[in-house]
Amino acid sequence: MRKGLILLLIFPVVAVFLGIFVGSYPTNPLHLDQLGKRIIWNIRLPRTLMGISAGMALGLGGMILQAVFRNPLVDTYILGVSSGVALGAALAVSFLPMAGIAPVALVFGLLAVFIAYSLARVNGRVSTVSLVLAGIIVTSLFSALLALLELLLSSESLSGLVVWLMGSLSNVSWRTVDYSLPGVVVLAILLYFLRFRLNVMSLGDEAELLGVNVPLWRGTFVFLSALLTVLVISSTGIIGWVGLIVPHTARMLVGPEHSKLILATISMGITVMVLADVIVRLLPGDIPVGIITTVVGVPFFAYLLRKTGGAWE
Amino acid sequence: MRKAGIILIAVLLLSVLSAGCVSNSGSSEKTTSATPKEITVNDLAGRSVTLKVPVQRAAILSTSALEIVQLLGAENQVVGIPAEAKADTFLSDKLKNKTIVGKRLKIDDWEKVLALKPDLMVNLYLKKFYDVDEFLSRSTSYGIPVIMLREDKLEDIPRAVELLGKVFGREDKAREFTSYFNEQVSEVKKIAEKIPTEKRKKVVMIQPIMGKYFVVNGNDVLAQAVRLVGAEYMANFTFKGYSPVRVPLDKEKIIAQFKDADVLILLTSAVTPYDKVEAIKNEMLNDEAWKGIKAVNEGNVYVLKAELDKDSFLRWSPRMAVGIWVVGKAIYPDYYPDWKDKANDFLKRFYSLS
């Protein structure tokens, strides 16, 4: 157990070190030239910090929903967040170029979750099944609207949108990190303060016997989870599978108790995202990091599914 | 029962008749009166195509080919266009108001095409972007000849104009343009020869799209224009034998690979208009990491228009007759004259635009 905790501490530190010192421009930490210093400060550091932000946000977002709905196979994308962000980005490209992509994507990402949650709420209660179904409805509707918009886009806009949606950290600047990282850190701290409430919520409807207002807290946690995700993907594009794999694996390592699970999820989220971005930097061209997380994530998740049968012990 | 059968047959007959009316509605285009004759030509993909000329009812799926048709004055011989044509400022309303049959390169609805009864289709030979073979086999099965153009080389522009001039029966106009184009190229070459070897500049072009940087590759017509004006084009990417015309690269890779560039050209696009690219340029000039590129450090970053606007000449099309001067002036302002007069003359002479 102690060994596992030490590893969870070391992994993100190593990932961040690689994130800062690995790239196409040679940068020796012991002998940095002037350009190397500038590249680290202006490119790699914001990129790595965004990787930290994305890893934390997507991991914690998935962890919250998995706890609240007591299901290891859910993450924030089932709420329709990704289709909302995609529609927002397409609207920004086609009709609101001056508004910028990230703000419009953020608003539509949250709007999608709001609609899904409202649809799923029957008699003041939201079950996993109703939320998944509502998520499918919202995703389908927003995807259809996105397809309609795509028909109106020129070939250049369309290919630009498709590449953007694949998710990437390469276009990150200090300005992007400025609003994403502080937001994610504040929400992560808030979540840590709510860790016992999250433990209680993971008991399911039995939490009500302990005097918890389950519908209220369920709604609060769903909103928190969506906000974490949207804060990141509205500027990076869709980065898949991190929200499923990271909390699931962290739970396998430290168990379901949230005071440990939150820290383990943060540690693993940072490691996975920053390392995925380091891999991207070493590949030719500018391959979206969302492709790497999906290519690595899918077989890993398939393995977990086979091993656990989708059950949460 | 019998009555119902009669009504059903009547309804069916009416449907067939009305469908016939609808399908004929697209065939009311005016056509030229010249007597058609059958010829065989080689298109730019090296295919041998037999068709009746002058073509009377062409469906065209590329805006650059439509610009050539406009230049030739053969608008009346076109019946179908791609959706992108609406945004092309070189094209007249007469052309823009033709039936839209699809998006660039692709047919949305073959039935719509067949209703127009085209006697020719013009498309681009771009196997990476759509299923060319399927497109050709479909059009062959419908008995519609296809001419394929390529947007690879500078010298293909006058070739394409000549070819379309022949099939649309507008050889004179085509000859006028090709001699104008060749004149521009040889004038530019003469200037380029005067540039001393030690003054030859290293150049790279980048097209920013949605926060990503797409480097123009060495096989693109714009890179050829850079070489034509006497500069060295730096990017030359090949991935397993395939050379894309645009290569997405992250900021660090661009800085690491092109740090010796003397001139950096940023291109606009349909997605990133001039103001946005200008803002990107200003960010670059104030960014210490971007200053790792010699061109940025010395302030030699220029924004050039490469979309479908009237004052935008950097696309594979007859526009490049002016485009080569635009590139020359940006890279060697001391050697090349201002291109504005040339642009006005070109627009007035070939497109009746001012």
- Integer Cα distance of A71 and A309 in angstroms: 12
Q: What are phi and psi of A210, to 5 degrees?
A: -90, 10
- Domain-embedded: residue B187: no
Contact B209 A24 (CB under 8 A): no
Tens digit of each residue's pLDDT (9 = 90 or more) over A209-254: 777 888 889 899 999 999 999 999 998 999 989 998 899 889 888 8
Q: Which of A25, A38, A171 faces B211 most closely, judged by CB atoms?
A: A171
Q: Measured in whole angstroms, how far is the alpha carbon of residue A226 from the centre of its chain?
A: 9
User: In this structure, what token pair is assigned to residue B87?
Assistant: 């945004």
- Integer Cα distance of A59 and A245 in angstroms: 8
The number of C-alpha atoms within 13 Å of A46 and in the hemisphere containing its C-beta is: 23
pLDDT value of residue A20 = 96
- Domain-embedded: residue B7: no
Average pLDDT over residues B49-57: 95
Identify the weakest region by mean pLDDT among A49-63, A102-116, B168-182.
A102-116
Give A5's contacts (C-beta < 8 A, 6+ positions apart).
A254
Is 60 exceeded by the pLDDT of residue B311? yes
Is 80 exceeded by the pLDDT of residue A296? yes
Average pLDDT over residues B163-187: 97
Residues in chain B: 354
Contact A281 B104 (CB under 8 A): no
pLDDT value of residue B132 = 94
Give A216's contacts (C-beta < 8 A, 6+ positions apart).
none
- Count structural domains, chain B: 2
Q: Give A101's contacts in chain B (Cβ within 8 Å).
A: 210-211
- Integer Cα distance of B174 and A309 in angstroms: 70
Is 70 exceeded by the pLDDT of residue A283? yes
Chain B residues whose C-beta sits inside 8 Å of any chain A C-beta:
84, 87, 103-105, 209-213, 239, 247-253, 255-257, 259, 269-271, 273, 276, 287-292
Residues B242 and B290 in one domain: yes
Is 70 exceeded by the pLDDT of residue A187? yes
Residues B201 and B316 in one domain: yes
Q: Give A160's contacts in chain B (Cβ within 8 Å).
A: 209-210, 212, 269, 271
Identify which has the larger pLDDT, A31 or B266.
B266
Contact B273 A97 (CB under 8 A): yes
ipTM strictly over 0.90? Answer: no
Can you give the residue range of the structural domain that contains B299? 196-351
CB B176 within 8 A of CB B61: no
Identify the weakest region by mean pLDDT among A184-188, A206-210, B215-219, B315-319.
A206-210
Pairing of strands A125-126, A121-122: antiparallel
pLDDT value of residue B335 = 97
- Domain-embedded: residue B175: no
Contact A155 B103 (CB under 8 A): yes
Per-residue confidence band for B9, with pLDDT thresholds at 50, 70 and 90 = low
pLDDT value of residue B114 = 94
- Domain-embedded: residue B242: yes
Residues B88 and B217 in one domain: no
Residues B159 and B266 in one domain: no
Domains of chain A: 1-308 (1.10.3470.10)
Identify the weakest region by mean pLDDT among A107-121, A297-311, B318-332, B336-350.
A297-311
Asked if the C-beta of A154 comes within 8 angstroms of chain B's C-beta atoms, the answer is yes
Residue type, B75: E
Identify the weakest region by mean pLDDT among A197-211, B178-192, B223-237.
A197-211
pLDDT value of residue A160 = 80
User: In this structure, what token pair is assigned to residue A56?
Assistant: 């934390």
Residues B219 and B346 in one domain: yes
Q: Which of A24, A155, A161 faces B252 most closely, judged by CB atoms?
A: A24
B240: left (phi over 0), alpha (psi -120 to 50) or beta: left
Residues B144 and B215 in one domain: no
pLDDT value of residue B21 = 42
| Among B128, B152, B169, residue at a domain's last position | B169
CATH number at residue B135: 3.40.50.1980
Residues B112 and B212 in one domain: no
Per-residue confidence band for B16, with pLDDT thresholds at 50, 70 and 90 = very low
Max Cα distance, chain A (Å): 65
Q: Give B103's contacts in chain A (Cβ within 8 Å).
A: 155
Q: How far lies B336's CA from each of B182, B185, B339, in Å?
A: 17, 13, 8
pLDDT value of residue B32 = 52
Return contacts of B85-92, CB within 8 angstroms, 24+ apart: B87/A154, B87/B270, B87/B308, B88/B63, B88/B308, B89/B308, B89/B309, B89/B310, B90/B308, B90/B310, B90/B317, B90/B319, B90/B351, B90/B353, B91/B63, B91/B66, B91/B67
- Domain-embedded: residue B240: yes
Q: Report helix, strand or coil for B44.
A: coil
pLDDT value of residue B220 = 95
User: In this structure, what token pair is assigned to residue A27?
Assistant: 């940068």
| Among B169, B186, B205, residue at a domain's last position | B169
Percent of chain A with pLDDT over 70: 97
Identify the weakest region by mean pLDDT among A124-133, A200-209, B96-105, B142-151.
A200-209
Q: Give B104's contacts in chain A (Cβ within 8 Å).
A: 155
Residue B209: burial class (beta carbons within 10 Å; 0-12, 13-18, 19+): buried
Residues B46 and B129 in one domain: yes
| Among B169, B186, B209, residue at a domain's last position | B169
Q: Give B211's contacts in chain A (Cβ within 8 Å).
A: 101, 164, 171
Residues B214 and B317 in one domain: yes
Nearest to residue B209, comparing CAs of A48, A160, A34, A42? A160
Residues B125 and B207 in one domain: no
Mean pLDDT of chain A: 89
Nearest to residue A191, comparing CAs of A78, A281, A61? A61
Q: How far lies A17's CA from each of A12, A42, A181, B144, B256, in Å?
A: 8, 16, 18, 62, 20
Residues B89 and B130 in one domain: yes
Residue B309: burial class (beta carbons within 10 Å; 0-12, 13-18, 19+): middle
CB A70 within 8 A of CB A202: yes
Residues B123 and B246 in one domain: no
Per-residue confidence band for B26, with pLDDT thresholds at 50, 70 and 90 = very low
Per-residue confidence band for B30, with pLDDT thresholds at 50, 70 and 90 = very low
- Domain-embedded: residue B174: no
pLDDT value of residue B18 = 44
As a whole number of Å, the CA-based R_g of chain B is 24
- Integer Cα distance of B324 and B337 in angstroms: 12
Q: Give A43's contacts in chain B (Cβ within 8 Å).
A: 250-252, 255, 289
- Domain-embedded: residue B4: no
pLDDT value of residue A155 = 73
- Domain-embedded: residue B160: yes
Asked if the C-beta of A185 comes within 8 angstroms of chain B's C-beta atoms, the answer is no
Is 90 exceeded by the pLDDT of residue A132? no
